[in-house]
Amino acid sequence: MTKLKAEIREKEELGCSFGIGPNKLIAKIASGHQKPDGLTVVAPDTVQQFLDPLPIRVIPGIGPKGEAFLHQRNIRTVGDLREVPETTLTEWFWQVGAAAL
């Protein structure tokens, strides 16, 4: 990857960020982790360690309204969100989604 990054910088005079992870979602989050010119590799056994301290906005689909809603409930990181029962999340986000309709 570093060779590819160097080639892009040389030919296009642009920096670029790469993220490598065990799935598309983790790779996408990783690519934004060290912008504007970073390389982040997340091994399968380090996904939770990587994600837990990150702000909840790194999760695609959580925008300003979802973030504000979660902050009101003292949920600020992916790790905080991980602790919320699935049934509670379903209940909460149905309310947020229904309010947006």
Which pLDDT score, from 0 to 100, does residue 86 have?
86
What is the enclosing helix (H) or strand (E) of 20? Answer: strand 18-20
CATH superfamily name and code, 1-51: Reverse transcriptase/Diguanylate cyclase domain (3.30.70.270)
Residue spans of the domains in the chain: they are: 1-51, 54-101
Q: How many residues does the chain have?
A: 101
pTM: predicted TM-score of the whole model, two decimal places: 0.77
Listed as ranges, residues in the chain with pLDDT below 70 are 1-2, 5, 95-101
* Angle of the 64-71 helix axis to the 86-100 helix axis, nearest 10: 130
Which pLDDT score, from 0 to 100, does residue 47 have?
97
